[in-house]
Amino acid sequence: MSATPASQREKIIQALMGLAGERPWEDISISDVAERAGLSLADFRDAFPSKGAVLGGFQRMIDRQVLEGTSNDLRDEPARDRLFDVLMRCLDALAPYKDAMRNIRDWARREPAAALALNGEMINSMRFMLEAAGIDSEGSLGNIKLQGLVLAWLRILDVWFSDDDPQLDRTMAALDKELDRGGRIVQRLEDVHRLSAPLRNLAGSLFTGASRARERTRERWDQRPRGEFDRPVDV
């Protein structure tokens, strides 16, 4: 029986992350991954268009593990505690791939384009982590929250990479610190957003009024009687 597309994708993900834990990212070819996975290049091409796409599949795999483990046990706890629990479960899911994650981090620091692409993947991931914690990521401040959480997550990972304690005391302390700092920043942003609401409403009214005035002016201009300056000039 041939492997299903889903099982082939999982084999490729596991093969790539295994290789990434052993050598620099730039030294891994698609052929290396296909050979480690026991698949052909055609199978790889059917599953993923590139190594970077495999990383996206890996992130979605980790997210699924975290989201499937989400329960309502902490529903009545503060939002900060719920997010702490979600992110710690994310670290638990990443633990088998720690060496690979470290090498991928090093590669992204050498390649700005790669860092930008990975940032987009992490924003999508953190959107679901916030949802799992029952924290809103929509609205005009949603993107700011998400990008801020991604930056905080990168700092937490930097601590995690060098934290060999099974209890992850240093990592948990870093997570505590980042969530406290992030909470204060979000609170200030929400305060500013709330206080500036009258000004935004006024600005919106002014722009709306200006737009309508331009439309009325254009209508009057189009409906004006044609005068001598509208007639073609004989040459």
Q: Which fold has domain 1-49?
A: Arc Repressor Mutant, subunit A (1.10.10)
Q: Which tens digit of pLDDT belongs to each residue from 85-101?
A: 999 999 999 999 999 99
Q: Return the sign of the alpha-carbon dihedral for residues 102, 104, 107, 108.
A: negative
For residues 63 and 46, the answer to whether their CB atoms sit within 8 Å is no
**What is the pLDDT, as a whole number, of residue 224?**
58
Give the pLDDT of residue 235: 44
What integer pLDDT is reported at residue 166 of this predicted model? 92
Would you state the pLDDT for residue 229? 44
Task: Work out the end-to-end distance of the chain between its first and last CA atoms, rounded to an integer number of angstroms.
Answer: 84
Which stretches of the chain drop beneath a pLDDT of 70? 1-2, 189-235
Non-local CB neighbours of 26 within 8 Å, separated by 6+ positions: 107
Q: Which two tokens stand for residue 14?
A: 């596991």
DSSP 229: G
Q: List every span in the chain annotated with CATH 1.10.10.60.
A: 1-49
Written as six digits, the tokens of 136 are 């809103």
pTM, two decimals, is 0.78
Cβ neighbour number for residue 25 with a 10 Å cutoff = 21
